[in-house]
């Protein structure tokens, strides 16, 4: 539950805003002035600060400056509420690093929309901070997987690129697309336990070898379970070999019962497999691979996703 530090010296307005925000599901920490708010900031670590400007003891400008001086307050969204509409006041707020400015009187919907916008942007920033911090490690791990199977060199990067293009075509949101990037890169991580002689075998696999190979989605998913920032990528790892008609593995899910992450990755993973040389087959042209996807829509692949892939793929 997002936590909001709400600072306003008008007790009635403070109570009205508190009720509005709590009705939207937010946890509100009320404060009557900047000094009290600064103390609450240190003990409550809010996700957003909403503050009046003209207050006793410590005004809004001083509070904003004090918050920004704290290591943990540098990136916290800060929203000013004020009846002061002079350009100089707005400019001063901007110089101090305010994120938004709401003029009194305002409608309840204006307040709620401003809060949602600030918190949504904060979530995206945090997500991409995590992405930047861990992407290089993930790529390094993926490279280890690929070095064990020279026939799939570049596979993970191609799948990542194809998956991102399809997700954009399907209008996935920013957070889902960021998670997809990890999922695409890590989808074959379970192959790290498959013997090299099986990965590199040029002839048909034996039944025993197929059993080993088909374990890689579940093994990969278990590997990610203990990594908090990668758990959201598990559906890509676990379900990218599920087929629309239920004949896939590891769980034989059917149609819409397959998570959308697995349905998307099944398409791009299969396309890349068809268009590159593998131990067990030669590559085919992209145009032929698109025809194969179209032929097996509603059999192996999500038909709507296949249509979007074909429409957006550039030969």
The full 3-state SS of 170-219, as one line of letters, equals: CCCCHHHHHHHHHHHHHCCHHHHHCCHHHHCCCCCCCHHHHHHHCCHHHH
Strands 3-7 and 48-52: parallel
What is the model's pLDDT at position 90?
60
pLDDT at 100 exceeding the cut of 70: yes
Q: Residues 8-62: pLDDT tens digits? A: 999 999 999 999 999 999 999 999 999 999 999 988 889 999 999 888 889 988 9
pLDDT of 137 reads 65
Asked whether residue 196 carries a pLDDT value surpassing 60, the answer given is yes
Which regions of the chain carry the CATH code 3.40.50.2300? 3-117
Q: Select 148-312's CATH number: 3.30.70.980, 3.10.20.30, 1.10.3720.10, 1.10.3210.10.
A: 1.10.3210.10
pLDDT at 248 over 80: yes
The whole-model pTM stands at 0.61
Residue 130 has pLDDT above 60, yes or no: no
Q: Residue 52 phi/psi, 5° resolution?
A: -70, 165
pLDDT: is 200 or 177 the higher one? Answer: 177
Which residues, at least 6 apart from 168, have a Cβ–Cβ distance to it below 8 Å?
Answer: 177
pLDDT of the residue at 175: 82
Residue 145 has pLDDT above 80, yes or no: no
Please say whether the beta carbons of 185 and 142 come within 8 A: yes
pLDDT grade for 80, boundaries at 50, 70 and 90: confident
C-beta separation of 220 from 189 below 8 A: yes
Strands ordered across the beta sheet of 27-31: 27-31, 3-7, 48-52, 78-82, 100-103
Number of H helices, E strands in the chain: 14, 5
Residues of the chain with CATH 1.10.3210.10: 148-312
Distance of CA 15 to the CA centre of its chain: 35
Question: What SS3 state is found at 229?
Answer: helix
- Asked if the model's pLDDT at residue 105 lies above 60, the reply is yes
100-104, 141-145, 166-170, 290-294 — which is least confidently predicted?
141-145
Q: 3-117: what CATH class?
A: alpha beta
User: What is the Cα–Cα distance from 314 to 130, expressed in whole angstroms?
Assistant: 32
């Amino acid at each position: 539950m997002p936590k909001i530090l709400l600072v306003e010296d008008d007790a009635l307005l403070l109570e009205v805003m508190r009720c509005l925000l709590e009705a939207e599901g937010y946890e509100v920490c009320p404060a009557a002035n900047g000094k009290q708010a600064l103390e609450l900031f240190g003990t409550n670590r809010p996700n957003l600060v909403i503050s009046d400007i003209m207050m006793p003891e410590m005004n809004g400008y001083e509070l904003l400056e004090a918050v920004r001086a704290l290591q943990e307050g540098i990136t916290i969204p800060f929203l000013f509420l004020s009846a002061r509409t002079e350009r100089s006041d707005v400019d001063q707020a901007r110089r101090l690093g305010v994120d938004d400015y709401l003029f009194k009187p305002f409608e309840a919907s204006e307040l709620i929309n401003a809060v949602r916008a600030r918190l949504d942007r904060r979530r995206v920033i945090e997500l991409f901070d995590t992405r930047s911090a861990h992407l290089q490690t993930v790529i390094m791990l993926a490279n280890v997987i690929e070095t064990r199977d020279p026939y799939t060199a570049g596979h993970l990067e191609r799948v990542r690129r194809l998956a991102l293009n399809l997700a954009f075509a399907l209008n996935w949101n920013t957070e889902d697309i960021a998670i997809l990037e990890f999922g695409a890169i890590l989808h074959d991580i379970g192959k790290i336990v498959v013997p090299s002689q099986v990965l590199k075998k040029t002839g048909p696999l034996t039944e025993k070898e197929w059993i080993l190979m088909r374990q890689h989605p579940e093994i990969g998913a278990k590997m990610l379970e203990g990594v908090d920032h990668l758990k959201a990528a598990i559906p890509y790892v676990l379900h990218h070999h599920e087929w629309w008609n239920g004949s896939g593995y590891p769980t034989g899910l059917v149609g819409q019962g397959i998570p959308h992450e697995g349905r998307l990755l099944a398409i791009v993973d299969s396309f890349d497999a068809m268009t590159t040389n593998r131990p067990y087959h030669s590559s085919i042209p992209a145009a032929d691979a698109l025809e194969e996807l179209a032929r097996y829509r509603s059999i192996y692949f999500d038909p709507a996703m296949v249509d979007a892939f074909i429409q957006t793929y550039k030969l």
